[in-house]
């Protein structure tokens, strides 16, 4: 690609990143007004997650979360990490980061580790090469334009032997197949009517829309929504040693190949 093409692609990526930031500023993940309500909602939706977070806390002493949202996983992790450990959460949404800081203050008496929350760009992590012990990113990087480039950035900052805990949407799941189909229908209707996100607007005006929290926004409104097959997951993680790859659904059981979220545990080779 020539210089002009590189600049054009960079501008396009920056524009999409700005739209994504604006979206999450307007619709912080999962909503909720208190941390305990946020935690209860997330763990009811993904009941397998506490076990994973416990595994991270038991295995790591330094965790950087890429895409921390309102701090739900990070604050919970800081209840489990041993004293003296370190946690840093990054998110491009300044509204979400501000909420995370507020929730950390709200829950400070239950924490073993004080979390650090910062506004940051996943595409350009603010860490030196080989300086980070572990990176955690659960259900985030499928919402950005250059997912593979960001995973290479994670590889750059990890120490040799450092762990990546990564969650990305699974294509071969009812949830994602329905979401992709719904977004395609909305795009076609937008083109025909000249409106913007027509399906989302109509659904939000109904009683159904008022009971779904941020779910409809995240299906119809988020600028980028990607998903992956198991082969694609291994391809994006080709520079890592993958120690575990399983898909999880809405229950505690692992659903081999058909859960809505791939969860990978991988390490940077020594």
pLDDT greater than 70 at residue 35: yes
Q: Quick one: pLDDT at residue 26?
A: 66
Q: How confident is the model at residue 30 (pLDDT cuts 50, 70, 90)?
A: low
pTM above 0.85, yes or no: yes
Between the two ends of the chain, the Cα-to-Cα distance in Å is 33
pLDDT greater than 90 at residue 237: yes
| pLDDT tens-digit map of 141-183 | 999 888 999 999 999 999 999 999 999 999 988 888 888 888 8
Q: Is there a single domain that holds both residue 55 and residue 91? A: yes
pLDDT greater than 90 at residue 252: no
Q: Is there a single domain that holds both residue 125 and residue 63? A: yes
> How buried is 50 (Cβ within 10 angstroms: 0-12 exposed, 13-18 middle, 19+ buried)?
middle
Q: Is there a single domain that holds both residue 215 and residue 259? A: no
Q: Is there a single domain that holds both residue 42 and residue 95? A: yes
Q: Is there a single domain that holds both residue 255 and residue 139? A: yes
Secondary structure letter of residue 132 according to DSSP: E
Q: Is there a single domain that holds both residue 23 and residue 86? A: yes
Q: Is there a single domain that holds both residue 213 and residue 236? A: no
Q: Quick one: pLDDT at residue 19?
A: 74
| β-strand partners of 102 | none
Q: Quick one: pLDDT at residue 187?
A: 82
Q: Is there a single domain that holds both residue 18 and residue 86? A: yes
Q: Is there a single domain that holds both residue 212 and residue 89? A: no
Beta-carbon contacts of residue 12 (< 8 Å; ≥ 6 apart): 145
Question: Residue 200: which domain range?
Answer: 174-221
Domain tally for the chain?
2
The CATH code of the domain that includes 38 is 3.40.50.150
Q: Is there a single domain that holds both residue 73 and residue 204? A: no
Helix axes 94-106, 3-26, angle to 10 degrees: 40
Q: Is there a single domain that holds both residue 246 and residue 215? A: no
Q: Whose CA is closest to 21, among 76, 88, 92, 111? A: 92
Beta-carbon contacts of residue 212 (< 8 Å; ≥ 6 apart): none
Contact indicator for 155, 149 with CB cutoff of 8 Å: no
Q: Is there a single domain that holds both residue 104 and residue 193? A: no
């Amino acid at each position: 690609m020539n210089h002009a093409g590189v600049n054009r692609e960079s501008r396009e990526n920056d524009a999409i990143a700005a739209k994504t930031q604006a979206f999450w500023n307007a619709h912080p993940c999962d909503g909720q007004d208190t941390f305990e309500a946020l935690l209860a909602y997330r763990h009811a939706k993904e009941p397998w997650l506490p076990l994973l977070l416990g595994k991270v806390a038991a295995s790591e002493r330094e965790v950087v979360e890429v895409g921390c949202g309102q701090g739900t996983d990070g604050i919970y992790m800081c209840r489990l990490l041993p004293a003296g450990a370190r946690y840093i959460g990054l998110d491009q949404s300044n509204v979400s980061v501000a909420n995370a800081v507020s929730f950390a203050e709200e829950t400070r008496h239950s924490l073993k580790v004080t979390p650090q929350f910062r506004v940051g760009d996943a595409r350009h992590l603010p860490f030196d090469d080989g300086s980070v012990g572990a990176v955690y990113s659960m259900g985030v990087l499928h919402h950005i334009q250059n997912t593979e480039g960001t995973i290479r950035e994670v590889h750059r900052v990890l120490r040799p032997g450092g762990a990546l805990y990564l969650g990305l949407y699974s294509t071969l799941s009812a949830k994602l197949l329905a979401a992709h189909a719904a977004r395609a229908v909305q795009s076609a209707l937008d083109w025909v009517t000249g409106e913007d996100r027509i399906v989302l607007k109509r659904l939000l005006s109904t009683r159904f829309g008022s009971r779904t929290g941020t779910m409809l926004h995240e299906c119809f409104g988020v600028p980028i929504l990607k998903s992956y097959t198991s082969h694609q997951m291994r391809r994006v993680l080709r520079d890592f040693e993958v120690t575990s790859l399983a898909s999880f659904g809405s229950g505690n059981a692992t659903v081999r190949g058909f859960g809505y979220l791939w969860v990978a545990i991988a390490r940077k080779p020594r």
